[in-house]
């Protein structure tokens, strides 16, 4: 295969982690980079994360998925319901707005457009990529929002009927270790907390991890937590 397919876990406003990850990954123009959603909220610099993602669109094949935090942000910004804004603020929106000077009017149109264009899922010949979870017997185009954006992994998730490996985030692995069940791989490794931002080459198995200060933990193939 002439290009790499690299999934990136939940960034959550940790701009230095994303910057460090891209420095070590060094994506080429033909590489596919799939950001699994939740790149906003909780961490200190969502604005910088957006700027980096926009730059990545010009240097590689970027596929940016929506997570539940992007859904919350859009609902808060696009509706007049105060409950949506309050919910988003409680879930990390306050940190996002702070990165724009404390006011939604500071969000550039390019960032808002990027947010609105986020994908529900991405699929290749061998893998499916979603933010949160999937209904095993439904094709991706028929997956309910609750599954794609909100549903955490259960104790014993069922393989997808397609036979493809599912790569996802959302369910935080607070140990900082990737959860690899064979048919499901979760790479939300708790970057905004005490963990790491994870990049995974889905074909070679190579894993890169960077913490929110930008410190790199690099291995040929990071040992995964098996269940």
Q: Is residue 87 a part of any domain in this protein?
A: no
Q: Is residue 95 a part of any domain in this protein?
A: no
Give me the CATH number covering residue 199.
3.60.21.10
Cα-atom radius of gyration of the chain, to the nearest Å?
Answer: 16
Q: Is residue 21 a part of any domain in this protein?
A: yes
Distance from C-alpha of 180 to C-alpha of 135, rounded to nearest angstrom: 18
Q: Is residue 98 a part of any domain in this protein?
A: no
Check residue 1 and give its pLDDT. Answer: 53
Position 81 pLDDT exceeds 50: yes
Position 221 pLDDT exceeds 90: no
pLDDT in tens, 173-205: 999 999 999 999 999 999 999 999 999 999 999
Distance from C-alpha of 173 to C-alpha of 60, rounded to nearest angstrom: 28
pLDDT in tens, 7-30: 999 999 999 999 999 999 999 999
Q: Is residue 100 a part of any domain in this protein?
A: no
Average pLDDT over residues 79-92: 94
Going by C-beta distance under 8 Å and a sequence separation of 6 or more, which residues neighbour residue 69? Answer: 12, 37, 38, 39, 40, 41, 42, 91, 92
Position 48 pLDDT exceeds 50: yes
Domains of the chain: total: 1
Position 225 pLDDT exceeds 50: no
Q: Residue 227's pLDDT band (boundaries 50, 70, 90)?
A: very low
Q: Which residue has the higher pLDDT, 180 or 222?
A: 180
Q: Is residue 109 a part of any domain in this protein?
A: no
Going by the DSSP 8-state scheme, the letter that residue 104 receives in this structure is G
Q: Residue 212's pLDDT band (boundaries 50, 70, 90)?
A: very high
Check residue 224 and give its pLDDT. Answer: 47
Q: Residue 211's pLDDT band (boundaries 50, 70, 90)?
A: very high
Give the structural domain span for 150. 5-67+118-218
Q: Is residue 226 a part of any domain in this protein?
A: no
Q: Is residue 132 a part of any domain in this protein?
A: yes
Q: What's the count of helices (H) and strands (E) in the chain, helices before strands?
A: 7, 11
């Amino acid at each position: 295969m002439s290009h790499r397919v690299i999934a990136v876990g939940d960034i959550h406003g940790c701009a230095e982690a994303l910057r460090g990850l891209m420095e070590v990954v060094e994506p080429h123009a033909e590489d596919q980079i799939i950001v699994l959603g939740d790149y906003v909220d909780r961490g200190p610099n969502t604005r910088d994360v957006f700027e980096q993602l926009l730059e990545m669109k010009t240097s590689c094949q970027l596929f940016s998925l929506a997570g539940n935090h992007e859904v919350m942000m859009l609902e808060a910004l696009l509706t007049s319901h105060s409950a949506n804004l309050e919910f988003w603020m409680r879930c990390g929106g306050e940190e996002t707005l702070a990165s724009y000077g404390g006011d939604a009017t500071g969000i550039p149109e390019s960032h808002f457009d990027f947010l609105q264009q986020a994908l529900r899922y991405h699929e290749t010949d061998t893998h499916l990529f979603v933010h949160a979870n999937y209904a095993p017997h439904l094709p991706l185009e028929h997956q309910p929002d609750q599954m794609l954006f909100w549903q955490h992994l259960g104790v014993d998730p069922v393989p997808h009927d397609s036979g493809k490996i599912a790569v996802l985030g959302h369910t935080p692995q607070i140990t900082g270790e990737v959860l690899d069940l064979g048919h499901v791989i979760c790479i939300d490794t708790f970057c905004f907390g005490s963990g790491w931002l994870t990049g995974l080459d889905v074909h070679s198995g190579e894993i890169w991890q960077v913490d929110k200060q930008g410190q790199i933990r690099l291995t040929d193939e990071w040992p995964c937590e098996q269940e």
